[in-house]
Amino acid sequence: MRIVSVHMSVIRIAAVVIRNAGGDILSVRKRGTVAFMLPGGKLEAGETGRQTAVREISEELGVDLDPELLVPLGRFGAPAANEAGCSVDCDVFLYPSPLDQLPEVRAEIEEARFFRADSVDPVLAPLSRDVVFPAVPRFPDGAVPEPGHRDGVGISDAVRGNSRHVYGPSSNDSITGRGVVPEV
């Protein structure tokens, strides 16, 4: 019997859950691909997940997010949608202000679309469809709590209600929860 070792490359990224007033989640598709994913991108050297998310969304959608308003949801992993043999390790943030309309796509983004938070559409990337969408707290009118809102009806309680738990922030601007990629 021959044992073959398979090494999967890990792509370090950051993304943001941005909703419309109905609670639908903004997703984008890069030029030349079929999968829709959360807006965001790859971390550059020395960048935090929060910095990456703000930079990428500004470059790709022309939306300037206030980094102080980003609420950490977790650090999650899944198979990469567009890179065979790779997985993604992603800091995911929630943005509390809903969008009134789809943003104009720029750079390598070909298309932007809103998906229902309970969507299992096969065009969604595995990270979105199988991991992040189910972890997104369900709040009325697409709202998310303000930064720092953790107790009472905050993110932790809403996520626990979806059989998930979010732990406190770590020193590198991401949070780790059960079933997600551990920090190294």
List the chain pLDDT tens, one digit each, 184 residues: 666 556 679 999 999 999 999 999 999 999 999 999 999 999 999 999 999 999 999 999 999 999 999 999 999 999 999 998 999 999 999 999 999 999 999 999 999 999 999 999 999 999 999 999 999 987 555 455 555 544 333 333 333 333 232 322 333 333 333 334 333 3
Quote the pLDDT of residue 139: 59
CB 90 within 8 A of CB 135: no
- Enclosing H/E stretch for 14: strand 9-17
Residue 17 in tokens: 């859950």
C-alpha span between 47 and 30 (Å, rounded): 22
Sign of CA dihedral 51, 43, 79, 36: positive
Whole-model pTM over 0.85:
no
C-alpha span between 168 and 71 (Å, rounded): 12
User: Of 13, 42, 43, 16, nearest to 27 (Cα)?
Assistant: 16
Quote the pLDDT of residue 4: 57
CB 65 within 8 A of CB 58: yes
CB 132 within 8 A of CB 177: no
Q: ∠ CA(78), CA(36), CA(164), 5° rounding?
A: 40
Please name the amino acid found at residue 3. I
